[in-house]
Amino acid sequence: MDLNVLLTVVRKSSFAAAAAELGVSSAYVSKRIRMLEEALRTRLLHRTTRRITLTEDGQLAYQWAIRILSDFDTMYDELSASHEHPHGSLHICSTFGFGRDHVGPALSALHDLYPDLKIRLDLVDRVVDIIGEGFDMEIRIGNDLSENLIARHLAKNHRILCASPEYLKRHGSPKALNELLHHECIILKERNNSFGQWTLYREETPESVNVRGALSSNSGSVVLQWALDGHGIILRSQWEVGQWVKEGRLVHLLPQYQQPADIWAVYQTRLSHSAKVKVCVEFLEKHFQALVSTPALQGR
């Protein structure tokens, strides 16, 4: 199917690499892309000697191709009477805090269901090239997703502003987002996030504020502990601070603002091509939707 050829070319950023994965010649890949462009009456790819990128129409076609092939996979699964038993090695990565506290326990439960799976979980605090580094999947928080990969939305999540009652007693509560300029903000530096700039949304409108503070770390658990100790304001996921807000150890500030940071499974192969990835993604989707729907994680 030409749509699958297009997805493979985009993911590999190369006709030759796509041809190798598909088991065909580069000439065949080029021909199928040309025929698809002729059928759609538009150019889908910018081609240079170094890289291949999507045109504006190509980006739209790419998104439709993902939807169409995903729907086809769903139809195939529903019509098929058999389901391949998942087995083999599954190499997954996630961030330190979320991976330790939630992905790890979820994978433990997954292994109970599918003992033939050999699961490896790596915890990282950097941007990961899952193709180049050989990962089957990344469990990611945040909506900055690469167009070259396939992503499955696992659950809604957002980050909120919090501080301890002790800090607020000494410094007062901010009444507007720009008042954070005059507060001690505890900054988390992880992955490729802009250091010292927080962008939050009020309804659908983004607003950014530059923040400062004496304390910063690349560890979410350290940042949380400093906030509990009364050292400043933090911007953290609801799954991490919800219980502390419920217990009164932290106060939810400026509740009209939040930062979308949904939970995603990111992988390189369509689910119909890998039983082990498919069962893992479907299991994690149910697990995390149940997780973020618990009252303790709502922070209210």
Q: How sure is the predictor about 17, in pLDDT bands with cuts at 50, 70 and 90? A: confident
Residue 174, exposed/middle/buried by CB under 10 A (0-12, 13-18, 19+)? buried
Q: How sure is the predictor about 3, in pLDDT bands with cuts at 50, 70 and 90? A: confident
Euclidean distance between CA atoms 257 and 165, whole angstroms: 19
Answer for the pair 281, 265: CB distance below 8 angstroms, yes or no: yes
Q: How sure is the predictor about 270, in pLDDT bands with cuts at 50, 70 and 90? A: confident
Please give the pLDDT value at position 210. Answer: 93
Answer for the pair 168, 233: CB distance below 8 angstroms, yes or no: no
Q: Give 100-156 pLDDT, tens digit per residue.
A: 989 999 999 999 998 888 999 999 878 888 888 888 999 998 877 777 778 999 998
- Indicate the pTM of the whole model: 0.63
CA distances (Å), 293 to each of 51, 100, 214, 239, 288, in order? 43, 20, 34, 10, 8
- Which residues are registered as beta bridge partners of 264? 140, 153
